[in-house]
């Protein structure tokens, strides 16, 4: 599996988006590419001037309702055409019918023929897709096994729970073994056990070299499973890359750090003297600090000096806000300030 190392973060105004560098290691037939893509619904903005290059692996799309996530997904699956710019999926236009054999799309909302059972639902889809009877049976059974729904294969889908409906849709999406999976809120409605099982499915698909583009409001899970994230706000890409890399680009915002040590008062005083702490909160047990530092690099260097020169015993130093939710909050605040 190839992991993208490209990172960009923008504090520019939406009318002045930052220029983003993109990975060039893989050929176009291995990537999903957006080149200066805009989509307008009349006078309403869907996305604007989006330039992305996504490599195989799991890409998390993060943003509130109306940020452009579904528009981006509908463009890469050919359900929408861009107002401007070009979209290429595995170096094919989304309007190319041949691409349908390589793409699976799980939309946010479901609608089922309640009279069908789970097996019939997937089998009939594969038959329409052009597979022979025996192939369709084998592929349907395999997909049901992958999502742990073999026990419900002969049950009418009208009796399925929300979580079972999500899993049967996922089975349909992966049944023809596509190279690109576009998944809009795929974890919605799943209990913790089913969610863990489905995440394992995502990771297995990524390991075999697939693209997975996943949107979710469950941000800690996006953080946990994604090789890279694309942060959207108001139709614009405000940042992209791996979470740690994106966070390192946000220079204007202090970073929060948890420090567990034995000389908290001494450490706090020295950090203030060196202008390395804007504010400090003591832990109730007197053995730790939560602080905001404007210069993470210099902070870490100085903590090394305190350990070596003043016998400070440090139990742990942990970045408190390096997850997707914190990064997104920082970037949206920056956009508003600008």
Q: What is the pLDDT of residues 3-51, one digit of tens each?
A: 333 334 443 334 333 334 344 467 878 899 999 999 999 888 899 999 9
Where are the domains positioned within the chain? 8-248, 255-337
Distances (CA, A) of 107 to 110, 165, 166, 197: 7, 12, 10, 19
Q: Kindly state the percentage of the chain with pLDDT values over 90.
A: 38
C-beta separation of 315 from 260 below 8 A: yes
Q: What is the pLDDT of residues 214-258, one digit of tens each?
A: 987 666 667 778 888 888 888 888 878 776 665 555 445 567 788
Q: What is the pLDDT of residues 258-275, one digit of tens each?
A: 888 888 889 999 999 998
Fold (CATH) for 255-337 = Alpha-Beta Plaits (3.30.70)
pTM over 0.75: no
pLDDT at 317: 81
CATH 3.40.50.300 for the 8-248 domain, yes or no = yes
Q: How far apart are the first and last CA of the chain?
A: 37
Q: Do domains 8-248 and 255-337 have the same CATH topology?
A: no
């Amino acid at each position: 599996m190839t992991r993208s190392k490209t990172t960009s973060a923008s504090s520019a105004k939406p009318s002045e988006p930052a220029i983003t560098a993109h990975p060039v290691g893989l050929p176009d037939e291995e990537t999903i590419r957006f080149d200066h893509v805009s989509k307008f619904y009349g006078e309403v903005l869907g996305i604007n001037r989006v330039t992305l290059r996504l490599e195989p692996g799991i890409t998390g799309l993060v943003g509130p309702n109306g940020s452009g996530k579904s528009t981006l997904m509908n463009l890469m699956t050919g359900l929408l055409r861009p107002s401007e710019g070009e979209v290429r999926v595995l170096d094919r236009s989304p309007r190319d019918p041949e691409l349908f054999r390589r793409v699976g799309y799980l939309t946010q909302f479901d609608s089922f023929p309640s009279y069908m059972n789970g097996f019939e639902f997937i089998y009939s889809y594969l038959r329409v897709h052009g597979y022979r009877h025996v192939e369709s049976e084998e592929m349907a059974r395999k997909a049901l096994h992958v999502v742990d729904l073999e026990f419900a294969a002969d049950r009418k889908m009208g009796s399925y729970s929300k979580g079972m409906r999500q899993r049967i849709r996922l089975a349909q999406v992966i049944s023809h073994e596509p190279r690109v999976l576009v998944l809009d809120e795929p974890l919605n409605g799943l209990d913790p056990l089913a969610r863990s099982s489905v995440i394992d499915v995502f990771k297995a698909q990524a390991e075999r070299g697939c693209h997975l583009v996943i949107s979710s409001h469950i941000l800690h899970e996006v953080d946990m499973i994604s090789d890279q994230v694309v942060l959207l706000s108001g139709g614009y890409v405000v940042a992209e890359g791996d979470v740690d890399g994106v966070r390192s680009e946000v220079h204007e915002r202090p970073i929060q750090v948890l420090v567990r040590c034995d000389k908290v008062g001494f450490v706090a005083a020295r950090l203030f003297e060196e202008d390395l702490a804007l504010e400090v909160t003591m832990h109730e047990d007197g053995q730790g600090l939560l602080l905001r530092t404007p210069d993470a690099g210099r902070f870490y260097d100085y903590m090394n000096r305190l350990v070596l020169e003043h016998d400070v015993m440090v139990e742990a130093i942990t970045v408190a806000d390096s997850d997707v939710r914190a990064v997104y909050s920082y970037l949206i605040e920056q956009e508003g300030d600008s």
